[in-house]
Amino acid sequence: MADDSIAHGPEGMSDQEAAIRVIAGEKEAFDPLVRKYAPAVFRHLFVLTRSHTLAEDLCQETFLRAFRFIAQFDPQKPLLSWLLRIASNLAINEWRREARRESRLVQGLRLREEPRTDLIEDPLQGRTLQSLETQELAQVVERAVDRLPEKMRAVVRMRYGQELACNEIGELLGMNLSAVKTTLFRARERLRRNLGTKLKDLHNRWGLL
């Protein structure tokens, strides 16, 4: 994660200077920070939520909370990391309010043992049965990820959706490195355990085992 601790905003102020001015009551000094970091915060939230609308809403809420609690920001630390931590907590809180949410995160989990090369053509759809099986597999995995406990889900999404390093995930979620690695391991084991029978049934149904 890039170090923005000495970064300068569009108006030439460093992040520290802008934050200090906001704390001192200069509300307009917060505007350059929003313009500078809103794209990064939005991208982070979109990976977590897989919803453009929800990511926009949570991005706005992130900056509202950042402005409200700017006095808690340590000017000696990177501002972006602080903002992403607020955003991550908002996403986790959103998951807790909604039991189910559509998601598209599958890349990187690699729950299948080996990719298959024996493709069977489907003349009606112009696709292969292998591709259809893969799509259904993706949907099964997506639902399984969505049912993980909030902290596990966040770690999985950040690791495989954003390809963040474990130490970066720990910084955003307030976890030490060992806890992140343990959570990631347990999440993968839970996915394998929960999906084992479903994956076997799915492959048998498509006749690809």
pLDDT digits (tens, 9 = 90+) for 39-61: 999 999 998 888 899 999 999 99
Examine the pLDDT at 195 and tell me if it is beyond 50: yes
Number of domain units in the chain = 2
Examine the pLDDT at 86 and tell me if it is beyond 80: yes
Q: Which of 14-23, 59-68, 93-102, 190-199 has the lowest mean pLDDT?
A: 93-102
Task: Report if residue 93 sits inside a domain.
Answer: yes
Task: Report if residue 109 sits inside a domain.
Answer: no
Task: Report if residue 151 sits inside a domain.
Answer: yes
Last residue of a domain, one of 102, 135, 151: 102
3-state secondary structure of 161: helix
Structure tokens belonging to residue 38 = 């809103």
Q: Which residues pair with 14 in a beta bridge?
A: 8
Average pLDDT, rounded, for the chain: 77
Determine contact, residues 83/37, Cβ cutoff 8 Å: yes
Torsions phi, psi for 197 (to 5 deg) = -65, -40
CATH number of the structural domain spanning residue 190: 1.10.10.10
Task: Report if residue 108 sits inside a domain.
Answer: no
Structure tokens belonging to residue 126 = 């112009």
Task: Report if residue 110 sits inside a domain.
Answer: no
Examine the domain organization and report whether 62 and 94 are in the same domain. yes
Task: Report if residue 89 sits inside a domain.
Answer: yes
d(CA 32, CA 13): 9
Of the two residues 139 and 29, the one the predictor is more confident about is 29
> Which among 1, 100, 2 is positioned nearest to 50, based on CA atoms?
100
Phi-psi region of 34 (alpha: psi -120 to 50; beta: other; left: phi over 0): alpha
Residues of the chain above pLDDT 90, percent: 37
- Tens digits of residue pLDDT in 99-156: 443 444 444 555 544 444 444 344 334 444 445 456 666 777 778 888 888 889 999 8
Last residue of a domain, one of 102, 130, 165: 102
CA distances for 138 relative to 74, 184, 186, 187, 200, angstroms: 42, 19, 20, 17, 14
Examine the domain organization and report whether 88 and 157 are in the same domain. no
pLDDT of res. 136: 67
Examine the pLDDT at 185 and tell me if it is beyond 80: yes
pLDDT of res. 109: 53
d(CA 27, CA 129): 58
Say which residues have a Cβ less than 8 Å from residue 65's Cβ, sequence separation at least 6: 86, 90
Examine the domain organization and report whether 94 and 137 are in the same domain. no
Structure tokens belonging to residue 25 = 């009551």
Task: Report if residue 14 sits inside a domain.
Answer: yes
pLDDT of res. 13: 79
> Which among 128, 182, 123, 191 is positioned nearest to 155, based on CA atoms?
182
Examine the domain organization and report whether 50 and 131 are in the same domain. no
Range of the domain at 161: 120-209
Of the two residues 4 and 193, the one the predictor is more confident about is 193
Across residues 62-72, what is the average pLDDT? 94
Last residue of a domain, one of 102, 134, 151: 102
Torsions phi, psi for 121 (to 5 deg) = -70, 140
Examine the domain organization and report whether 11 and 68 are in the same domain. yes
CATH number of the structural domain spanning residue 24: 1.10.1740.10
Examine the pLDDT at 81 and tell me if it is beyond 90: yes
Task: Report if residue 113 sits inside a domain.
Answer: no
